[in-house]
Amino acid sequence: MGLFDRFKKRFKKSAEEITVEEDSTEAEQALEERRELIESLEDSKPTHHPTTQSVETPAETGEQWDDFDEEPAEDPFAKPLERKERKKAERASSVEKAAKAPEKRERTPKDRMASTTGRTLVASGPAKIEIDFGDSASPTGGR
């Protein structure tokens, strides 16, 4: 018997133990207990009586909010319903976008020794080679 079968068997047993027939005395007792519990919960809840509170007017507290004379921004989620209106809106937005010239940024000279990994590179120059064209013979090698 697998784990799932065991779980299924236990679930059926517990369901049979919990459920009772509708017209039995056990069902009536369970309903009465439920009613009593609900009533006790309602009684235990604190009743909130509204108290009169002084309401401050904006004149008393000073201007807390700025009055905006500007028109509210368009709702970004509101789309024109018809296809033609949607296309006209797209064209208008593209014309506005094209009318605004993109800002040209000044390019800063890049450091040639900076790497993308975050490590600093070491500058290396041309290798220096010394050649001796003297007449002296070498003490080793040769015939």
Are the C-beta atoms of residues 59 and 53 closer than 8 Å to each other?
A: no
Are the C-beta atoms of residues 121 and 114 closer than 8 Å to each other?
A: yes
3 state SS of 125: coil
The CA distances from residue 85 to 54, 78, 79, 81, 89, in Å, are 51, 12, 9, 7, 6
Whole-number Å distance between alpha carbons of 140 and 143: 9
What six digits make up the tokens of 83?
């296809």
pLDDT < 50: residue spans in the chain? none
Are the C-beta atoms of residues 99 and 91 closer than 8 Å to each other?
A: no
* Residue 20 confidence (pLDDT): 77
* Residue 32 confidence (pLDDT): 92
Determine how many CB atoms are found less than 10 A away from the CB of residue 20. 14
Which residues lie closer than 8 Å to 26 by C-beta, 6 or more apart? 20
Q: Compute the half-sphere exposure of residue 122: CA atoms within 13 Å on the CB side of its CA.
A: 1
Strand partners, 120: 114
Model-level pTM? 0.24
* Residue 36 confidence (pLDDT): 94
* Residue 112 confidence (pLDDT): 77
Are the C-beta atoms of residues 119 and 128 closer than 8 Å to each other?
A: no
* Residue 124 confidence (pLDDT): 82
